[in-house]
A and B are shown apart, each in its own frame.
Chain A
């Protein structure tokens, strides 16, 4: 229960809040009831002069005050009803989406609790081979240009870059380049994923948009494994074309 001082404080605050509306209402009422200025009437205008407005506005009647206050309260009630309806709609929509999201998120396993195979399976579903190869095309194109830019045609080696070696532990020229290429492809894939709405992102890479080669997480290693895996068949086909030159 509110105490009397609290009720008075609330009433005072409400009065202060309504004061601009009340003053405007009084002004309109007085303007409508004010006697027309002689000059304005003679010129065809029907407006009261500022002096007349001021004089009449300073004499509000009790009925005017009652009408104005009642009008303010009615308007306030209408706003509350509209707000309640809007709030109900908003809450309904939010709850519906929240329930769907919660149901989906609860079924998702934490990355830290997934095995390597589960992680790779989830990432393979998220990043298909055609998607990886499409990104690989862009990166390989830029890498060939980069190698050609660094070293003139007479000494450059753009062939071994196109034939990724299976063993990537050795720090050879093609291995280093392929490692860089895989990281670039992984980063492009994650950036493309991060640009999608949060709910459409694969949960194993949600919110992730880059790969740090100095601090790679299990997800990064799994993506790297998948990318290298997609190179196996194309490498065989490319080698076949290469050997045709000598056969």
Chain B
């Protein structure tokens, strides 16, 4: 993930929607089975793998653009459900945090144990948002 417009100026609270400042470009690698090669290791065989002659065989690269501001608005609406009009500054503050989380080079949240994260009292324990290994 990377910012689509890294040079874009930070918008005001009222101009946050559709602002280039928040747009993030995601590049994903997709296969039929969901397994991809990691480094030199090839992906494991799986029954859902496409036939070698199929056009679906091999890895595909997908690029898409996300707007954390729109996602923040949808998340807030999902949390409270009623058609409440959130303050623009509140939406932007959530969008800013999401943007920072998405483009952050620090990926420690993906490997940090949940037990350790649960003891953290400081803000920004993103590991708590990640899926646990036990599926919870």
Contacts and interface: CB of A to CB of B under 8 A. Distances in A.
Interface in B78-133: 78-82, 84, 86-87, 89-90, 92-94, 96-98, 100-102, 118-126, 128-129, 131
B29 interface: no
A133 B81 contact: yes
B84 A138 contact: yes
Interface stretch (A9-17, A21-29, A157-165): A157-165
Given A130-B82, A141-B86, A156-B97, A241 B75 contact: yes
- For the residues of B in contact with A, the DSSP-based class is helix
Interface string A170-190: 111110000000000000000
A156 B87 contact: no
A141 B87 contact: yes
A162 B94 contact: yes
A151 B97 CA distance: 11
A87 interface: no
B76 interface: yes
A145 B93 contact: yes
Contact of B76 (A140, A148, A170): A140
Contact of A234 (B68, B79, B97, B131): B79
B123 A156 contact: yes
B71 interface: yes
Contacts, number: 124
A172 B128 contact: yes
A159 B118 contact: no
- For the residues of A in contact with B, the DSSP-based class is helix
A154 interface: yes
Interface in A162-212: 162-163, 165, 167, 170-174
A174 B128 contact: yes
Contacts of B125: 160, 172-174
A73 interface: no
B5 interface: no
B82 A134 contact: yes
Interface string B4-19: 0000000000000000
Most buried by B among A235, A243, A245: A245
B80 A160 contact: no
13 contacts: A134-B80, A140-B79, A153-B96, A155-B124, A157-B123, A159-B98, A160-B125, A160-B128, A172-B119, A173-B120, A235-B79, A237-B78, A245-B26
The 3 closest A-B pairs by CB, nearest first: A157-B123, A137-B84, A148-B93
Interface of A: 130, 133-134, 136-138, 140-141, 144-145, 147-148, 151, 153-160, 162-163, 165, 167, 170-174, 231, 234-235, 237-245
Interface of B: 26, 66, 68, 71, 74-76, 78-82, 84, 86-87, 89-90, 92-94, 96-98, 100-102, 118-126, 128-129, 131
Given A148-B93, A154-B96, A157-B123, 12 more contacts: A130-B82, A134-B84, A137-B86, A140-B90, A144-B87, A147-B93, A153-B92, A162-B75, A173-B120, A174-B128, A244-B71, A245-B71
